[in-house]
Structure 1
Amino acid sequence: MTRFIVAPQWQGSSSSRAMQLIDGALAIAGDLPRATTTVIDVPAEAGESLESGVRRLSSLTRVRTAIEEAVAEADEPVVVIGGDCGVTLAGVGAVAGPDLAVVWLDAHADLNSPETSDSGAFHGMVLRAILGEGADVLSLPAEVITPDRVVLAGTREFDLGEELYVSATGMTVLSVDDLADPAALADAVSATGAARVYIHVDLDVLDPGEMGALTYPVPFGATVAQVVAAIKAVRERMPLAGASLTEFSPSSPEAAVEDLGAILRLVGALA
């Protein structure tokens, strides 16, 4: 059985549609089994940066703590539903260890730091924080997750600093074309030498033609079928330690309904 933790966090986003992430998370929650679903109480206020270089840090820190506590109480793998993709820090942090690989299915690398980010928005820094580089209260300890245990997949938009980081660390990057072969992602994860895997899905890994309610759509993305097949191939190869699905930003309840079928296929693959 899988437990779901829904965290309708919006404070990590820089989008003008950030508040719609609340509606997106709650729309997904409405189709999840009530008995195994916990909805996190996200602060209403934006929060303060506290001179960290991360906008709304105080609220983000509170949500991180709440998610980690909820994951710790679960006896089964947890799928964290966002909100913005900043919620994934807590999901990974709750199960992190030297035997864990992280799959990052996302159109964006999210490898900025407070020093390199132009926006100060945490959703562009999450993976770098997982790798131990970020604001002290909003990152994992250094070397818990290392770049050789991370696989970027479907990523097609990099800032210059992110390109330099990937080049310097040799992090594995799979293109959208690579995802046409379901085994490609499973092979890359196996090559990390890890014994468990955490799978993060930012919905903008999908092509905008597949999903309408995206905060930062990027052309030439993957199909739902490709992502579902890749996730299933990884899960056949290695135990799932946890997962996240984030960045659903519908403009209306009607728009949410149009995309929920595709989202539930992805949730089903993770669960």
Structure 2
Amino acid sequence: MTNNTWEKFPEDTIELLFTAVEEDDNVDEHTSLPDVIDLRCPHENIYQNYALCLQFWRDGFTREELLGLVEKFIKNPDLPQAVRMRYKYIRARYKHLRFAQRLYSKKHQSFGLFNTTTVVLGHFQDAFRNGNQKNLKYYGAILRILLSKPIWSLVSYAMSHFELETESGFIAYRQSQIRTLGTLINHSQLTGEEFHDVRKIVSQQVSFYDTLRSINPGNQQAYEMSRFLAAINGIMGDQHDVMVADKLSGGSMYDEATALEPDLRLRLEQLLAHYPL
């Protein structure tokens, strides 16, 4: 099944999703898992979730605006905080839709050019955050191509035309992700790459519950899952930023195996113990 037209949500729903995504790195000391994690998600919900993520991306900015921001940073990486936040929010919309493609599509993959754009947007952000002029120019040049009109049109079409996963397939996919998470944290120490893999799984899971709670604000389980996963994401995000900065300055932290922080490991183990597999 492919979809040419997708459901459109009111602005209030978009705002709820924006707030949820903005909280994805907030570490709440008192957050806890719901009593039961219900994995059911009817096909209608899968469709609605993707539709909201697509609208969140499409309506949040224009190609011209993003390209303009890239040009500004190439000329002057030390732009005001408001401009940096605008870039961050646009990139967050890309990341959220990439998670949606991986979650809800039959292939559980993001379209190649869209995925590449999302990755390069991240490298470009790391470059201006850390004052790396060489990387700024390099990734900026790639973004000029990826945000050109022909590629933009191709990507925009691909975001709307693909096959959605079934409910049983969606449950099986999420369970496989959590099993992979369990395998990764069975190691007493993780390399930077393994750490990144853990964070990718957690971020993808939190994106699902962020979307779910935005469509249905009364869904308490979705809210609790969103906040619990966001706390894990936040702890990992702080550590990941330090590792990236070290790597850009020529350090070896990213390649060395290190132990997870005790609080982080505890939260991950709680998730694994509670998740129905």
Question: Comparing both structures, which one devotes a greater share of its residues to strand?
Answer: 1
Question: Comparing both structures, which one devotes a greater share of its residues to helix?
Answer: 2
User: Do the two structures share a fold, i.e. TM-score over 0.5?
Assistant: no
With structure 1 as the length reference, what TM-score do the two structures score? 0.32
Point out which structure has higher relative CO (alpha carbons under 8 A, 6+ apart): 2
